Structure 1
Amino acid sequence: MASKELPDGVRFLVVEGHRSSTEQARRFAVHVDRLRRSGLTDPADLRRRASAFVSPVEVAPHCAGAAVDLAFVDTDGVELDMGGAVNGHRTGDEEHCPMDASGLSSSARRNRDLLTQAMRSAGFINYPTEWWHWSYGDRYWALITEADSAIYGPV
């Protein structure tokens, strides 16, 4: 279990797990609109760029209950330095969203490394453009782990 990999004083903060298809579609549309307002007009480019941070409903692991968004807190519930906010793409902080983002503080890098160690020990994989996003059993997980197929699909 991933939590057994955490040192004393560090706990998981579960930000989000299952998400309805309606909510997923809304979030995807909002992100497409944000990109459109920035000047992108090509439909294929809009879909590709939006998909880097918000999955279309038909492949969204949150809709399948196969993904979880996580951060760390201390025993008092204070969030630890992760180098950027969960869902930082919503606030224009895309540069700190990737797991391997450059320019992170040493504490943020240590915390991201700890998150990676803990979640991988339980078989989860990270979506590399979102340090907080971990999945198990979805299509991306199947691709990365070379499983024969995904375990979970949209609910």
Structure 2
Amino acid sequence: MTVLLTDERVTGIPAIENGEPLVELFTRDVLTTGQQFARESVADRLAMADAFLPAGIRLHVVEALRPVDSQRQIWDTYRAEVARLHPGSSERDLDVLASRFVSPIDVAPHVAGAAVDLTLVGAHGPLDLGTPIDATPEQSSGACFFAATNISREARTNRALLADVLTAAGLVNYPTEWWHWSYGDRYWAYVEQRPTALYGPAYSMS
């Protein structure tokens, strides 16, 4: 069973901020949409993963560090949609359902600069990964889940390639979103069986 970000095994992991700086991803020659920032170790690991890819294929980061206000708006909007689709659900159940797609503020890896949303691109543009980035479970009939079976063989092969290079570089996937990978956050700590996360919210750094 998939462990979600609202699971106590994740939320119970302390985040001990190590003070690592944010860097712009272009300084590591990582392709991005616009200006994107992440923790230094995340950026270095993305560059490593990019170097592992076959010639002619690159990582492309669509979003990395996210302002807390944006995270809160995304959470509130999607949770309201989930509430509409699941009338009568408890507040806790709505939080769990919403966390399949959006992280609550207190454990959100994007606001810590620890996570990226990314895809693969080739000479002729984006490769087939099965769904657009940010396709919700409802929109995609669950095809956004990394291990989804309702995608093409090509998409499955491309997801496996994405996982191979990112896992080799030390990042972990949030399994309900094929595009979401992180390092140093609570979910990473859970998957890697670490006692603490490395980063707290980047917006609170002095």
Alignment partner of 1:108 is 2:158: no
Please give the residue correspondences for 1:85-96 in structure 2 after superposition, counting only pairs within 5 Å: 85-89=132-136, 92-96=139-143
State the alpha-carbon separation in 1 of the partners of residues 139 and 154 from structure 2.
22
In the alignment, which residue of structure 2 is the partner of 1:135?
182
Please give the residue correspondences for 1:37-48 in structure 2 after superposition, counting only pairs within 5 Å: 37-41=84-88, 42-48=90-96
Moved more, 100-109 or 61-70: 100-109
State the alpha-carbon separation in 2 of the partners of residues 5 and 104 from structure 1.
25
Scaled by the length of structure 2, the TM-score of the pair is 0.72
Deviation string 1:64-121 (CA, Å, 9 cap, x unpaired) is: 0000011011134x11100111111087114111110012211101100000001011
Query: Of residues 100, 104, 110 in structure 2, which corresponds to 1:62?
Result: 110
What SS class does the counterpart of residue 146 from structure 2 fall into? coil
1:153 deviates by 1.3
State the alpha-carbon separation in 1 of the partners of residues 135 and 106 from structure 2.
23
1:25 deviates by 0.5
Contact 2:146 2:178 in 1 (8 A): yes
Contact 2:133 2:179 in 1 (8 A): yes
Alignment partner of 1:3 is 2:72: no
**1:94–1:24 distance in 2 versus 1, CA, 3 Å:** farther
State the alpha-carbon separation in 2 of the partners of residues 141 and 40 from structure 1.
33
Structure 1, unaligned runs of 5 or more? none
In the alignment, which residue of structure 2 is the partner of 1:52?
100
The RMSD of aligned alpha carbons is 1.3
What SS class does the counterpart of residue 119 from structure 1 fall into? helix
In the alignment, which residue of structure 2 is the partner of 1:74?
122
Query: Of residues 118, 123, 127 in structure 1, which corresponds to 2:170?
Result: 123
In the alignment, which residue of structure 2 is the partner of 1:97?
144
Structure 2, unaligned runs of 5 or more? 1-47
Contact 1:88 1:94 in 2 (8 A): no
Contact 1:11 1:75 in 2 (8 A): no
State the alpha-carbon separation in 2 of the partners of residues 22 and 44 from structure 1.
22
Deviation string 1:18-77 (CA, Å, 9 cap, x unpaired) is: 00111000000000111122133321111110011100000000000000011011134x
Runs of 4 or more above 3 Å deviation: none
Count of paired positions: 154
What SS class does the counterpart of residue 46 from structure 1 fall into? helix
